Amino acid sequence: MDFKFTDGQLMLQKTAAEFAEKYIEPRAEEIDRTGEFPRDIFNEMCKVGFAGIGTPTNYGGSGGTDIDKVLVVTEIAKKDASCAAILSIHTIFASVLSKFGTEEQKKKYLPETTNGGELGAFALTEPNAGSDAGSAKTTAIFDEETGEYVLNGTKCFISGGSQAKNLLIFALTDPAKGTKGLSCILVEKGTPGFSVGKIEEKMGIHGSETAELIFDNCRVPKENLIGREGQGFKIAMTALDGARIGVAAQALGIAERALDESVKYMKERVQFGKPISALQGLQWYISDMATKIECAKWMIFRAAWLKVSGQPYSKEAAIAKLNASETATFVTNLALQIHGGYGYMKDYPLERMYRDAKITEIYEGTSEIHKVVISRAVLK
């Protein structure tokens, strides 16, 4: 097995690190404090090509693979988890359209929703359909007279919901069939009958907006159906498999930054006449943190490599996301403990990172759901 990155991948990683240091780190505290959606940073990510990673160049993308995406998202997450979440979740839109969209849909929507500056969103979750996505109630009934789908229902916890120009909505085209009647429909911002409800106030990732979406007799042309009617559940699960690698990369970046901050602090902080890096108990903290991060890192790249190679990767993506998210929570907790009272203060980034890490155990599938996915794959 070859564990080496290509020269191009190493250059991309370096570019992402420099980008994050220049554009993101100076704004991270402000974004967290104000909850502002960092449109300026997203625009810069589009200009440099990050938003189009994984999308073919003939559709306006940057090319590249999920391995490239992991490298970029990880570096951005080191400076701000909100910006990493925005990029990672945004790429779900393009991945779905690239795999399931028609040629006309790809030509129309991919160029503007990759490096073209327009945000994309993925709307599956509902108030009573979180982990149980099959319990969705939003409907999209086809009107034979007008040739349109009529959407009614509510989506919640949708990242970038009010900021996105194009949104993938999962709705029942045949409610009697349950999950077999779920379909994926593209809705454009400004479509009559589509409105944004509550903008959530969250514990962390404040810059990554989370919104409620409301559909009240929202009419969408039949040309906006992605894939076939009844294929929505398959599309959603396929998208989530890839998205879990992205969330794992976010978690990895948070954990690596927390370790870096801890090493720096331990070498500088003097107690009892010597740097606290000389204290064996804290050295063991560092050992545990570094070990878990290395394990998480290679699980993530293993899952990404399987996806890129065209091999089954659902179980590996679930393992990578479960492990990386729990690692981020574990590492930021120990890092904050190492920093003591200073880590609890907003003057240090650890307080923000500690809050940001928790969401990686929840969105794109909770840890409990991932354990179900993994156990089913092992027990089949």
Do 247 and 197 lie in a common domain? Answer: no
> Residue 39 has which token pair?
């449109």
For 101-128, the pLDDT digits (tens) are 999 999 999 999 988 999 999 999 999 8
Query: What pLDDT was estimated at residue 1?
Result: 62
> Residue 314 has which token pair?
């659902």
Tell me whether residue 115 is in a domain. no
**CATH number, domain with residue 174:** 2.40.110.10
Instruction: Tell the burial category of 250 from Cβ atoms under 10 Å away from its Cβ (0-12, 13-18, 19+).
Output: buried
Tell me whether residue 253 is in a domain. yes
What is the extent of the structural domain holding 89? 7-109
Do 220 and 131 lie in a common domain? Answer: yes
For 190-225, the pLDDT digits (tens) are 999 999 999 999 999 999 999 999 999 999 999 999
Active-site amino acid positions: 364
Higher pLDDT, 197 or 134: 197
Query: What pLDDT was estimated at residue 25?
Result: 97
pTM, full prediction? 0.95
> CA 300 to CA 296: how far, in whole Å?
6
- Mark which of 84, 109, 134 sits at the end of a domain: 109
- Mark which of 166, 199, 230 sits at the end of a domain: 230
Do 35 and 155 lie in a common domain? Answer: no
> Residue 181 has which token pair?
């009647």
- Mark which of 230, 259, 287 sits at the end of a domain: 230
Do 271 and 162 lie in a common domain? Answer: no
Do 164 and 193 lie in a common domain? Answer: yes
Do 222 and 241 lie in a common domain? Answer: no
Is the pLDDT at 351 greater than 90, yes or no?
Answer: yes
Q: How many CA atoms, within 13 angstroms, populate the side-chain half-sphere of residue 7?
A: 0
Tell me which residue of 360, 307, 298, 375 sits closest to 330, measured CA to CA: 360
Do 249 and 272 lie in a common domain? Answer: yes
Tell me whether residue 2 is in a domain. no
Determine what percent of the chain is predicted with pLDDT higher than 90.
Answer: 93
